[in-house]
Every structure is written in structure tokens, then in C-alpha cells.
Amino acid sequence: MDKFHKRIGVATVLFIGLIILLASLASPGFGMENKTAYTRDGIHYVSKERVDENIRYEYAKPGDYREVQVPFDTIVVGASSIPENISMQEEKDTAIEENSPPKTNKTSSAYASGNKYPYASLSIALLVVGGLVFFVASVFSGRGRQ
């Protein structure tokens, strides 16, 4: 019976290692590339050029934006080309757009809701490992009763 118990122990350890490996590969941050963006609200992301442009044209102050790391496929608004001689009609159009309700971007809001629980994958992995440890302990504790 001693060889049988060693085989069960080895198989259990290999099974636990496989589960831990799969859990680490399935975590959302694995293999995902990040890029730098700037945000005011954590939902909409802009580039460094757009931040500089907003500060230059006094749409924002120099401390309004914070630098964040976002997934590579997140939409980041780049710089625009605002001509130096803006006509009065374009200023009126801009004022109308600023007073209209903001449009929501489902892609960026989905990433923002994912940032609410940054340790969720870690907690799930710890629960899986704890369950496996409990399973191994119950198998080995039953071995002495026979």
C-alpha cells in the first residue's frame, strides 16, 4: 500500500501544479500589454499631446489629468489639429458641443468597470489553491485511518 499512497501523492501534487499554472495563465493581466494614457475621470483616456493641447488652449489646468496604464486595445484620443485662426462660427460650434450631454463609450466604460476590482483574479486564485490544499489534506488524513 505504500507505493499506492506515493503515487496518489505525486498525482495530487502534479494536479495542484497544473491547476495553479492554468489559473495564472487565465488571469486577466497575463500577457496583456499596457500603454500610457491620461485621464480625468478614469473612463475617458487621452494622449500626452492632447493633454498639452488642452492646457495650451486653457481647456484644462496643469494638474487635472493623471497618468494611468491602460490595456493596449483601449481607445486613447490623440491630438487634434486646431488652426491658430479660429473663426467665430467654429467657436460657436464648440460651445454647443460642450453644452450637449456627453456621449458614453461602451469600450472604455467596460475597462473602467474592470478596474473596480483589481484583486478579483488574485482572490479567485487563492480560493482555488486553498480548496486544493484542503483536498490534499483530506486525502492524506484519510490514509492513516485505514
Q: Are residues 109 and 37 in the same domain?
A: yes
Q: Are residues 72 and 88 in the same domain?
A: yes
Q: Are residues 75 and 139 in the same domain?
A: no
Residue 35 pLDDT > 60: yes
Residue 37 pLDDT > 90: yes
> pLDDT tens digits, residue range 43-66?
999 999 999 999 988 889 989 999
Residue 11 confidence (pLDDT): 82
Q: Are residues 26 and 95 in the same domain?
A: no
User: What residues are paired with 67 via a beta bridge?
Assistant: 38
Residue 118 confidence (pLDDT): 72
Cα–Cα distance measured from residue 68 to residue 96, given in angstroms and rounded to the nearest whole number? 30
Q: Are residues 37 and 90 in the same domain?
A: yes
pTM: 0.38
